[in-house]
A and B are shown apart, each in its own frame.
Chain A
Amino acid sequence: GENVEQHPSTLSVQEGDSAVIKCTYSDSASNYFPWYKQELGKGPQLIIDIRSNVGEKKDQRIAVTLNKTAKHFSLHITETQPEDSAVYFCAASKGNGQNFVFGPGTRLSVLP
């Protein structure tokens, strides 16, 4: 089955700096890659996603890149703010829900 790895497990950055979180997946049939943000005591919230027919997607300060050949995708957050502090999860899916597998998460701390 699908296996999703995520690095780093923890990340601390200064406010205003950029943060990058990387994920790799094992199943080449996966074609949908969402990123979720989970704040303390809350459920995961989708922040951006990308499909296999696209190499990059951007939404304001957040961008995701996908390298299908290498089977890895990354989340980029620019101009980080304290409210970006949370646990971020990547996930991979074949698009039918059966292999919606999450990475282990990255705890991001943005220091003021």
Chain B
Amino acid sequence: DTAVSQTPKYLVTQMGNDKSIKCEQNLGHDTMYWYKQDSKKFLKIMFSYNNKELIINETVPNRFSPKSPDKAHLNLHINSLELGDSAVYFCASSQDFSGGTQETQYFGPGTRLLVL
């Protein structure tokens, strides 16, 4: 029973292409996130969604856009891919965004994106 799943696990593509990464959580959580982990392992939050509303939008390029078809899914769309977008992207979810005792974030296995 995978709590947070992502597809694909690996994604190799050419510069300029548009791609999507899918994320699903079966934990019944209210909030979902996307993180980027660079080659130095540094984790940086990109977006979070709560009840289908974007409530954090860090300073990421507008080529990146999160899409949430329902509470259990938060997909990441990337347009006009650039070399610098190569990284590992992690989806995560948590029960309560407002800081209650269930703020623990559960991470997916990651999607390794390589832009050539």
Our verdict on whether A and B bind, yes or no, reads yes
Q: How many residues of B contact A (CB 8 A)?
A: 26
B56 & A97 in contact (Cβ 8 Å cutoff): yes
Asked if A42 contacts B109 (CB within 8 A), the reply is yes
Stretch at the interface among B13-21, B35-43, B71-79: B35-43
Interface residue? B68 (CB, 8 A): no
CA gap between A62 and B56 in the complex, in Å: 32
CA distance A105 to B40 in the complex (A): 9
Would you list which residues of chain A between 53 and 107 have a CB under 8 Å from chain B?
87, 89, 93-98, 100-102, 104-105
B residues near A97, Cβ cutoff 8 Å: 31, 33, 48, 55-56, 94, 97, 99, 103
Number of A residues near B (Cβ < 8 Å) is: 25
Nearest-CB distance from B30 to chain A (Å)?
11
**Contact indicator A46/B104 (Cβ below 8 Å):** yes
B62 contacts partner chain A, Cβ-Cβ < 8 Å = no
Residue of B nearest to A43 (CB): B107
Contact check, A49 vs B107: say whether CB atoms are below 8 A apart: no
Indicate if the CB atoms of B107 and A98 lie closer than 8 Å: no
How far apart are the CA atoms of A32 and B94 in the complex, in Å?
14
Contact of B105 among A94, A96, A100, A104 (CB under 8 A): A100
Contacts of B40 in A (CB 8 A): 104
Query: Given contacts A41-B110, A44-B107, could you give 9 more A-B pairs where the C-beta distance is less than 8 Å?
Result: A31-B99, A32-B99, A43-B92, A46-B104, A93-B99, A97-B55, A98-B56, A104-B41, A105-B41
